[in-house]
């Protein structure tokens, strides 16, 4: 399947890699189908919409905050059809500003993907983690 992207131009994707976000993402509820675009030499991955050119930069939050942890609510475990925690991938949406030293991740709303069932959801946590976690200075400490 060929899709148009704003960051990568026209690309071919394997339809088997499409991840269903039944509720969309907060603020983008109309977007329900995404694919992960990974570049092997980068720590930033992209959650690319299949239905528009919109893409969200993502990072593994455990790379930038080693004590990051949360529980996935039971309702979301059921909704995502998670049988084995080994089948999930967790990401944080990243904001990449003009000044890269101000790069930040949203730790309060992780994106959880069941890689086996190809289902995803952005989960909103409580106040224990910030929406704007600046990590440029923290990486490599």
Q: Report all structural domains of the chain as residue ranges with CATH numbers, in order of start.
A: 2-134 (2.30.290.10)
Mean pLDDT, range 38-66, rounded to an integer: 92
CB neighbours of 17 closer than 8 A, spacing ≥ 6?
A: 35, 36, 118
Q: Distance (Å, rounded) from C-alpha 124 to C-alpha 11?
A: 31
Q: How many CA atoms lie within 13 A of 19 on its CB side?
A: 27
Model confidence over 87-112: pLDDT tens digits?
999 999 999 999 989 999 999 999 99
Q: Is 100 exposed, middle or buried (0-12, 13-18, 19+ CB in 10 A)?
A: exposed
For residue 141, the model assigns a pLDDT of 47
pTM of the entire structure?
Answer: 0.91
Which two structure tokens, joined as six digits, stand for 97? 């500003």
Q: Is the pLDDT of residue 57 over 90?
A: yes
């Amino acid at each position: 399947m060929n899709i148009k992207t704003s960051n990568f131009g026209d690309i071919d994707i394997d339809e088997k890699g499409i991840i269903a976000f039944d509720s969309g993402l907060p603020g983008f509820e109309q977007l329900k189908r995404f694919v992960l675009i990974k570049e092997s030499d980068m720590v930033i991955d992209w959650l690319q919409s299949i239905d528009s050119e919109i893409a969200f930069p993502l990072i593994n939050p455990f790379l930038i905050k080693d004590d990051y942890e949360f529980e996935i609510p039971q309702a979301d475990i059921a909704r995502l059809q998670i049988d084995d925690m080994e089948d999930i991938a967790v990401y944080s949406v990243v904001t990449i500003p003009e000044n890269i030293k101000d790069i930040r991740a949203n730790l309060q709303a992780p994106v959880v993907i069941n890689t086996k069932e190809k289902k995803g959801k952005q989960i909103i946590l409580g106040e224990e983690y910030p929406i704007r976690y600046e990590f440029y200075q923290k990486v490599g400490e």
